[in-house]
Amino acid sequence: MSDKLNELKIRLAEVDDLSSAAAVLGWDQQTYMPAGGAEARGRQMATLQRLAHEKFTDEQIGYLLEELQQAGADWAYDSDEAALLRVTQRQYTQAIRIPSDFVAEVASHGAAAFNAWTTARPANDFAAVRPLLEKTLELSLRYASYFPGHAEPIDPFIDNADHGMNAATVGALFDQLRAALVPLVQAIGAQPLADDEVLRRGYPEAAQIAFGEEMARQLGYDFSRGRQDKTYHPFATKFSINDVRITTRLDEHFLNEGLFGTIHEVGHAMYEQGVAQALEATPLASGTSAGVHESQSRLWENLVGRSRRFWEHFFPVLQAAFPTQLNDVSLDTFYRAINRVEPSLIRVEADEVTYNLHVMLRFDLERALLKGELAVADLPAAWNGRMESDLGLTPPDDRHGVLQDVHWFDGLLGGGFQGYTLGNVMSAQFFAAAQTAHPEIPDQIRGGSFDTLRGWLTENIYRHGMKFTARELVERATGSPLTIEPYMAYLRHKYGELYGL
C-alpha cells in the first residue's frame, strides 16, 4: 500500500511542479515582464496548465485513488493520508469533467484579457475589453455546463473557491450581514468625517518599502522563504511552502495603500509559509478556501494592523521613518485617520465597514451575468446604479467603476468575490477564539510581539493546509459554526468607540 501511496505522491508532485512553474510565469507577468512578452507568455502558461491538467487526469491516478480508498479505509479522518485521498479524489472527480483543450483555451484567453485590461483600465476604455469579457462569460458558462445539477451557474465557481457553499448559502449569510451593516454605516455617516490629511503628506516610495519590509519581518513573514516586489494589482503567490512571495503597490500620496496592502499580503503569505512541510508538493499544500485565506489576510490587516494597540508599537517606528511628515501627529490622530469610514469608489481602498458592500455588489452582478439576467454591455450601468443605491456614489468613469478589479479579466468569471466577505466574517471569529485561548495577545501586540497569535493560527489553521474544509476548520478552531456575531461585535465596539455611537 505504501508503494501505491508513494506512486500517487510522485505523480501529484509532478503536477504541482508544472502548476508552480506556471505560477512563476504568472508572477513574472505581473511584476517584471515587458509588455512585448504578453503573447508568448499566454502560450507558455497555457501549455504548462494543459500539461498539468493532462497529468492530473491520467487514468492511472484514478486507479491509484481507487485502490488506496479500499486499502486506506482505516486511516483516521485527521491523518495526512486520509486527507490526501479525500481532497485529491474531490479534485480528480472534478478535473476529469473538464477537457484539457478547454483548460488551455481559458489560460490563453485569460492572458489576453488580462493584458487588454492592463491598458483598458488606465485608458478608461470598457469598450476595448467588452468583447473579451463576453468571451469570458461564454467560457464561464461552458465551464458551469461541465457540472450539471447545480441550482445556478455560479454554484460550481463558488464550490471551487469555497468548497461546500453555493449561491443560496452565501446569499443568505450576506443578507443577514447587510441587514446588520447598513444601520452601522448610516450611524457613522451621521457623524463628522475623520480627517485623514496626515496620510496624504507625501511619503517617498523607498522609505515606504523599507518600513513595510520591517513590519512584515516583525509580524513573522519569513524573507528567507519569500520576497516582495512591486506590481499593479497586489497579490501573494506560492511556488513551494518555502517560496511564498508578496507584491505591493505604493502611493506616495496616500500612505494606507502600501501599509495595509503589505500587511494584507503578508497575512496570505504567512498562511502558506505555515503549512506543514510534510504536505509539500501535494494538493494539501495550500490554504483551504478563498474565505479562510482572506480571513488570514484580513485578520492581520484589520484586527491587528488597524488596531490602536498595533500602532502603540509601530507608530514611533513610522515617525522615525517619516519625521517631517509625522512628528507633529499624535497616535490618536493617526489611529482615527487610518480608520476613517467613508463610502468610496474603490473596493481595495475601502474602509472595513463599507468594504463588504463593495463585495456584495460584485457577487450579485456576477451572479446575474451568469444567470443571463444581465448582459456584459449593460454591466457598467448596472455597476453604477448599484453604487448609487448602496453607497450613495456615482463613479465618474469606468476606471473608478467596473474596470477596477482584475477578477473578471483574468480567466473565468464567478466565485471570485464572496471569499472576501466570508473572510472578514471568519477573521473576527478566529481572532476571538485566539484571544479566548490566550488573553495576553492584546498586550503582546502592544509590545510588538506577534508570536503567540501566529502560533495559535499556525496550530489551528496554517499547518493543516487543505486537510479540512472551511466549515470543519472554523468549527475545530472556534468550537462553533460560522456566524456573523463576532464580526459585528468587533465592528460595533471599535467604531462605536471611534465615532461615539
Between 255-273 and 451-460, two packed helices, what is the crossing angle to 10 degrees?
Answer: 50
Cell 508599537, residue located: 313
| Cα–Cα distance, 256 to 302 (Å, whole number) | 12
| Catalytic hit among 7, 54, 138, 265 | 265
Task: Please report how close the Cβ of residue 297 comes to Zn ion at its closest, in angstroms.
Answer: 4
Please tell me the distance from the alpha carbon of residue 301 to that of residue 262, in angstroms, as a whole number. Answer: 8
Stretch that binds Zn ion, among 254-262, 293-301, 369-377, 452-460 (CB under 5 A): 293-301
Q: Which stretch binds Zn ion (CB under 5 A): 240-248, 297-305, 333-341, 476-484?
A: 297-305
Residues contacting 434, CB < 8 A, separation 6+: 441, 453, 456, 457, 460
> Beta strands 228-230 and 236-240: pairing type?
unpaired
Per CB under 5 A, contacts with Zn ion among 401-420 are: none
* Residue with smaller CB distance to Zn ion, 144 or 292: 292
If the CB atoms of residues 273 and 297 are measured against Zn ion, the closer one turns out to be: 297
Say if CB 477 and CB 461 are below 8 A apart: yes
Burial degree of 263 (CB within 10 A; 0-12, 13-18, 19+): buried
**Sheet containing strand 228-230, strands side by side:** 228-230, 243-248, 236-240
265 is catalytic: yes
- Minimal distance in Å, beta carbon 266 to Zn ion? 11
Q: Given the complex with Zn ion, which of 305 and 380 has the nearer CB atom?
A: 305
Instruction: Compare residues 268 and 308 and give the one whose CB is closer to Zn ion.
Output: 268
β-strand 243-248 against 228-230: which pairing, if any? parallel
Cα–Cα distance measured from residue 195 to residue 498, given in angstroms and rounded to the nearest whole number: 12
Output the smallest distance, CB 268 to Zn ion, in A: 6
Shortest Å distance, C-beta 409 to Zn ion: 17
Instruction: Look at residue 27 and give its three-state secondary structure.
Output: helix
The minimum distance between CB 97 and Zn ion, in angstroms, equals: 28
**Segment interacting with Zn ion (CB under 5 A) among 169-177, 197-205, 289-297, 426-434:** 289-297
Residue count, binding to Zn ion (CB under 5 A): 1
- Of the candidate residues 208, 247, 289, 297, the single one contacting Zn ion (CB under 5 A): 297
- From 29-37, 291-299, 380-388, 403-411, give the range in contact with Zn ion by CB under 5 A: 291-299
Q: Which neighbouring-strand residues pair with 237?
A: 245
Cβ-based nearer residue to Zn ion, 188 or 244: 244
| CA 8/CA 2 separation, integer angstroms | 10
Indicate the residue among 291 and 380 with the shorter CB distance to Zn ion.
291
CA distance 465 to 281: 12
Q: Between 246 and 285, how does the x/- string for binding to Zn ion read (CB under 5 A)? A: ----------------------------------------
CB of 300 or CB of 335, closer to Zn ion: 300
Quick one: which segment of 102-110, 146-154, 280-288, 290-298 binds Zn ion (CB under 5 A)?
A: 290-298
Q: How far is the CB of 294 from Zn ion (least distance, A)?
A: 5
Instruction: Note whether 245 and 228 are within 8 A (CB).
Output: yes
Cβ at position 407, least distance to Zn ion in Å: 11
SS3 track for 338-401? HCCCCCCCCHHHCCHHHHHHHHHHHHHHHHHHHHCCCCHHHHHHHHHHHHHHHHCCCCCCHHHC
Which residue of the chain is nearest Zn ion when measured via CB? 297
Which residues form the interface with Zn ion (CB under 5 A)?
297
Catalytic residues: 265
